[in-house]
Structure 1
Amino acid sequence: MDVVELLSELVKFDTTNDPAKGIKPSKDCPKFIMDTLSSWGIEAELIERDGYYAVYGEIGSGKPKLLFMAHFDVVPVNREEWETEPFELTIKGSRAYGRGSADDKGNVASVMLALKELSKMKLEGKILFAFTGDEEIGGKMAMHIAEKLKSENNLPEYMINADGIGMKPIIRRRKGFGVTIGVPSERIKLIGVLKERKFKVNTPILETRHAAYFLPGVDTHPMIALSHFLRNSNALAVSLEGKFLKGNVVPSEVTLKYLEPGEGEEVEADMGLTKLLKAIVPLVRAPIKPEKYSDYGVSITPNLYSFKDGKHVLRLDIRAMSYSHKDIESTIKEVVAFNIPEAEVIVSSNEKAGYLFTHPEEEIVRAMLETLEKFGEKAEPVEGPGAADSRFFTPYGVKAIDFGPRGGDIHGPNEYVEIDSLRRMPELYAELARRMVRE
């Protein structure tokens, strides 16, 4: 079985994580991973916590030197936007399309095959591996594994978090924070005309729906455009609908029903919703000061909206090179207090998670660059836009990089991985491990 065939089997498992709808991956995919490894003589265990699963194991003996980690869960799909069946790997030319092909089942398949080769060798040190099923909703399984290894004095020196893209070692990544803002409905009746307007996402350079990849000044976020519209008109919001999927996924489209005051009929508008939506522009420009430098600075995107029990709720995704949420919370609350003082604000983050910030001269970085050069790839260390599970290991002193094959449309429709790049990955990972854990 080659890496494309293995990826095809993995993509068939619908491992969608969607807490808002109560959807989580079943045991089927991790059991397939574990059984496949077992058929190659690699023993692993299935870990379960709160209905989520992970596969963990070790090869070699002695001091733990290196950890491979990848995740098999995926974000929800909007099938209307897909040109292929998202849970069937479809090959078109040089690309393989399917949900998870790039994020992150291509990496899962690659690491599995690398482990198959490494298990045949005599290694000076242990190689640990883990495949997790909740990275897309916060990575508590990775946190649990990090804590477990810490308590057992079994933490590795280095980590390859196989959750990157572009065949470039990622040495910096920001931490993710969630902000929930709730505003009571405040309905009033006015005379005017009821109208409707759609706002659509536009990513002209890099096609993606991943919030961390959103670049203000280049990309158009439909919720920010909607806010700008309300702030520059006398329109009052009536209701909002949209293709909302997940906290870190930019909605592809939102539809605003609004009242244009003047002559017409009596229409019921919602001042609570109006104030909340108008506040989006100042919220996404909140002057948050991070702890460390980032190529991407601080990004703030409003990706989820809901209405329940008489309350409008907006969720923001914030990415910053910061460990604590305290400064972020004070800044966001200042903006909210000025614009919608009656709103409730909750800022959340996992305080056990850090950010990725590995020095480019670390052995793991140099070894990856040397390995890439051997495979004819020229690369420099870069910063990745999104957060990843390596952030649970860096606070313990583990030196980590994130890495993955070339691909695109992460978290978006028609996600794909480049086949030539993918085919190199198992051998590349095996060669890198050999450099880190000498035979």
Structure 2
Amino acid sequence: MQQELLQHLATFVGFHSVSDRTEEKERALQWVEETFLFTSHAAVHRGAVSGAPYVYLEHPHPDFLWFAHVDVVPGSPEQFTMRIEGGRAYGRGTKDMKGGAVPFLLAYKHLTEEGIQPRTSILLTSDEETAGPTIPHLLDRGVLHTPVAFTPDTGSKPGIITEHKGVVWAELKAKGSGGHASSPWESKNPIWVLNSALQVLRDTFPPGCESDWRVTVVPTTLAGSNARNQIPEEVTCGIDIRFPLSECSSAKEALALVRKVLPADCELHEVRSAGPLLTDANHPMVQMVKSLAEESEGRSVEIIREHGGTDARYFCERGIPAFLYGPVGGNIHARDEWVSIPSLLKQYEISRKLLQTLA
């Protein structure tokens, strides 16, 4: 079993399915369909939203929708060749989230080969890492139908995730008056204005620590003059805002909270936003997965929350409960991204039991 699982993961990791490699994403999805879904009796739909391909296996009466994404963040060429060291599999996407997907897909394949047809739908997208529109598009058009949604797209902390923060990507613009850098007294340099604004944001929304469950405001990108001797008219800074439902009920409220502390000559505009995830920890499907996980892993499995966000939020926004539980791993998006091999085997066992229970 372990060898089969790792061989599939190594193949999956080998696809360079980053955001600008549409052909690679299509190849990865085709491989998933031909490898894991071919013995299912359910209809398989293929499509694309804004150029991002997806595969959707539609059960007519699903007990739940399992979803995952095949896209990964960029990496160096060697990261797309999986290596195994000391009980861990290393490579781009081993944790986020090809390693999370393979155990479930393999369990589904094995059961359908045995003549069991689980009552689940399966969706694989290719635009999660860029906050793409595939899932909200399919939900809004009535393509996806499910009473609850489940994904193994978890972060580094082990536990079942039923809550994560909402997100606003915004652009902070500081205005001034341009001029020649040799005569700074003749201009109002917007970079100093931006500097003051960022200091205010840091003081008002300090980085804090992992246990803090509050609004965070983080500068991520900068743009201004393209000439070293030119004072620009304006400069912009990309801002990442994360907000818990306990502090802000919407992206609009989170933006207003940040705007009110900014100095004059600064503007804040939303680029993209998504709501928080909040699912009842006592939901029957959450409790079923918790029970199966505790049985398989021989430990207490906590219900937790995460600061990051996933496509699970889109289901929550439309009144569909969603939650996450995946394998143990770490260094997500980093050079030495890894996933625990024993955890992958436990995920296979949990997935198989879940699918058998609902077959």
Is TM-score (shorter-chain normalized) higher than 0.5? yes
Query: Is 1:179 matched with 2:170?
Result: yes
Change (3 A) 1:110 1:281: farther
Alpha-carbon distance change, 75 to 281 in structure 1, aligned in 2, over 3 angstroms: farther
Deviation at 1:40, TM superposition (A): 4.2
Q: Give the Å deviation of 1:287.
A: 6.2
Match of 1:227 in 2: none
Q: Indicate conservation of the 8 Å contact 1:171/1:356, yes or no.
A: yes
Query: Hey, what does 1:12 align to over in structure 2?
Result: 14
**Any conservation in 1 of the 2:243–2:254 contact (CA below 8 Å)?**
no
The CA distance in 2 between the partners of 1:426 and 1:93, in whole Å, is: 20
- 1:354 and 1:66 mapped to 2: Cα distance? 22
Partner of 2:66: 68
* Structure 1 position 392 matched with structure 2 position 318: no
Q: Tell me, in whole angstroms, the C-alpha distance in 2 between the residues paired with 1:139 and 1:377.
A: 36
Report the alpha carbon displacement of residue 408 of structure 1 after superposing the two structures with TM: 0.6
Tell me by how many angstroms 1:313 deviates: 2.0
Structure 2: which 5+ runs fail to align?
A: 227-231
Paired residues of 1:72 and 1:105 also in contact (CA < 8 A): yes
CA deviation map 1:53-111 (0-9, x unaligned):
1111035x5x321110111111234x4xxxx9211112121211111111111122222
Using the alignment, how far apart are the partners of 1:45 and 1:6 within structure 2?
22
The CA deviation at 1:4 is 1.6
What is the 5 A alignment of 1:304-383? Answer: 304-307=221-224, 310=232, 311-322=234-245, 323-336=249-262, 338=263, 341-350=264-273, 353-375=274-296, 376-383=298-305
Alignment of 1:216-365 (within 5 A): 271-286=189-204, 296-307=213-224, 310=232, 311-322=234-245, 323-336=249-262, 338=263, 341-350=264-273, 353-365=274-286
Equivalent-residue separation in structure 2 for 1:308 and 1:15 (angstroms): 34
**Using the alignment, how far apart are the partners of 1:366 and 1:271 within structure 2?**
57
2:88 to 60, 71, 95: 95
- 1:34–1:45 contact (8 Å) kept in structure 2: no
SS in 1 for 2:79: coil
Q: 1 CA distance for matches of 2:182 and 2:283? A: 64
Partner of 1:406: 328
Query: Is the alpha carbon distance of 1:91 and 1:270 closer, same or farther for their aligned partners in structure 2, counting shifts above 3 Å?
Result: farther
Deviation at 1:181, TM superposition (A): 1.4
> Judging changes above 3 Å, is the alpha-carbon distance between structure 1 residues 189 and 159 closer, same or farther for their aligned structure 2 residues?
closer
Percent of residue pairs identical: 25
Instruction: Measure the CA separation in 1 of the matches of 2:171 and 2:124.
Output: 30
Q: Does 1:419 align with 2:336?
A: no
Q: CA deviation at 1:295?
A: 5.4
- Structure 2 distance, partners of 1:287, 1:295, is 11
Q: Distance in 1 between matches of 2:224 and 2:337?
A: 30
**Residue number among 95, 109, 115 corresponding to 1:116 in the alignment:** 109
Aligned equivalents of 1:377 and 1:187: distance in 2? Answer: 65
Structure 2 CA distance, aligned partners of 1:184 and 1:409? 38
Q: CA deviation at 1:41?
A: 4.8
The aligned counterpart of 2:35 is 36
Counterparts of 2:217 and 2:316, CA distance in 1: 24
Q: In structure 2, the residue corresponding to 1:9 is in which secondary structure? A: helix
Distance 2:15 2:193 in 1: 42
Deviation at residue 269 of structure 1 after TM alignment:
10
Match of 2:149 in 1: 159
The superposition leaves residues 21-59 of structure 1 with CA deviations (integer Å, 9 ceiling, x where unpaired) of: xx3543222222222235445652222111111111035
SS in 2 for 1:393: helix
TM-score, scaled relative to structure 1: 0.69
Instruction: Look up the equivalent residue of 2:350 and give its one-letter code.
Output: L
Change (3 A) 1:413 1:307: farther
When the two chains are superposed, the root-mean-square deviation of aligned CA atoms in Å is 2.9
Q: Secondary structure at the match of 2:30?
A: helix
Tell me how far 1:377 sits from its aligned partner.
3.4
What is the number of residues matched between the two proteins? 337
How much does 1:411 deviate?
Answer: 2.1
User: 2:89 aligns to what SS in structure 1?
Assistant: strand
Once residues 190 and 405 of structure 1 are traced to their aligned partners in structure 2, the CA distance between those partners, rounded to angstroms, is: 57
